Amino acid sequence: FGVKKLLFHAMNNDPSLMRERLGYWLFRQMGVAAPRVVHARVTINGERVGLYANVEYIDGRFTRSRFEDGKGNLYKEVWPTTNPLSYPLTEDRLLAALRTNEDEDPSVQRVLDFSAAMEGATDERRETLEAWMSVPYLASFIAADRGIGADDGAFHYYCSQVGCGNHNFYIYEEEKDERLWIIPWD
């Protein structure tokens, strides 16, 4: 089915065993690039170990199958802007977050440029967002995210004494159109 890796989630905190599958389905129905999920009965050496969610791995194969120009940079869990409560966005953080193109001496300058523009004058943020992201896609992502009550993704921040941050999402940087896309995860 065009995948290279199998990724099984145990669904320990989901008594229905359906939350992840239905959540990703809703994202896809809303036009958001989200992984496919199926249930899998896992057997090891003839012994049944349980029912798992087999979740499509987010990698270069995923981006090439979802985006017209699927060969851009894919970042895991690095938000493209900073605020006084989070860690500053740096070239090193972006390079460490790369999940594609790591061996090709990639440039992360576009994301840094987007970040700088978003942190600039507040009256220009709308135009900056519209220039760098698909607002209808972002609205669909937010609607699905809030609709399923996601409490562990791109729009859920955890704070501690050292700062705040979010996780369980990817950012794809499309080269051709210079667009950034949020991809839900976990």
Contacts of 13 (CB under 8 A, 6+ apart): none
Alpha carbon of 90 to those of 7, 103, 126: distances in Å? 30, 19, 23
Q: Are 179 and 147 in contact (CB under 8 A)?
A: no
4: closest CA among 52, 51, 53, 62? Answer: 62
* 181/118 Cα distance (integer angstroms): 15
pLDDT in single tens digits along all 186 residues of the chain: 777 888 999 999 999 999 999 999 999 999 999 999 999 999 999 999 999 999 999 999 999 999 998 999 999 988 887 655 566 788 998 999 999 998 888 999 999 999 888 887 778 888 989 999 999 999 999 999 999 988 888 888 888 887 777 889 999 999 888 899 999 998
Q: pTM (2 decimals)? A: 0.90
Q: Collapsing DSSP states into helix, strand and coil, what is residue 175?
A: coil
